């Protein structure tokens, strides 16, 4: 191995540095990134969720925004669920069967 190649080879016990989080990313994405880091091995989390090990880094750098399915998969892998909560008390009840049937989702 040449000196140049040796200089770029990863050190066996080197601690990985986390990618800097771009300030302009969505707050919810930032929160998920911080929770994932606190959980531990981010590469393992990404693999278990079914995503490439560079997924979180691309979100942190704002090169890519998470899809809803990717966001939910990562959150579920670290033990969180993603739910909608009403903004006010008038929206706090679930839709009735009649209301759901009356709305044509295919229109």
Do residues 71 and 82 touch, judged by C-beta distance below 8 A?
Answer: yes
Q: What does the pLDDT look like over 15-61, one tens digit per residue?
A: 556 678 888 899 999 999 999 999 888 899 999 999 988 889 999 99
Report the interhelical angle of 27-39 vs 42-49 (nearest 10°): 110
* Burial zone of 43 (CB within 10 Å; 0-12 exposed, 13-18 middle, 19+ buried): middle
Given a cut of 60, whether residue 11 has pLDDT beyond it is: no
19-78: CATH topology is 434 Repressor (Amino-terminal Domain) (1.10.260)
Confidence bin at 93 (pLDDT 50/70/90):
low
- Nearest in space to 19 (alpha carbons), one of 47, 53, 55, 60: 60
Given a cut of 70, whether residue 12 has pLDDT beyond it is: no
Tell me the pTM.
0.65
Do residues 54 and 77 touch, judged by C-beta distance below 8 A?
Answer: no
Task: Sketch the domain layout of the chain as residue ranges.
Answer: 19-78
């Amino acid at each position: 191995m040449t000196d140049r190649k040796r200089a770029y080879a990863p050190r066996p016990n080197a601690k990985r540095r986390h990618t800097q989080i771009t300030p302009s990313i969505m707050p919810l994405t930032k929160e998920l990134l911080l929770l994932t880091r606190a959980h531990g091995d981010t590469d393992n989390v990404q693999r278990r969720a079914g995503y490439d090990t560079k997924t979180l880094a691309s979100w942190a750098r704002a090169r890519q925004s998470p899809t809803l399915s990717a966001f939910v998969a990562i959150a579920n892998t670290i033990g969180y669920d993603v739910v909608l909560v009403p903004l006010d008390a008038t929206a706090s009840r679930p839709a009735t069967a009649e209301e759901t049937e009356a709305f044509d989702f295919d229109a």
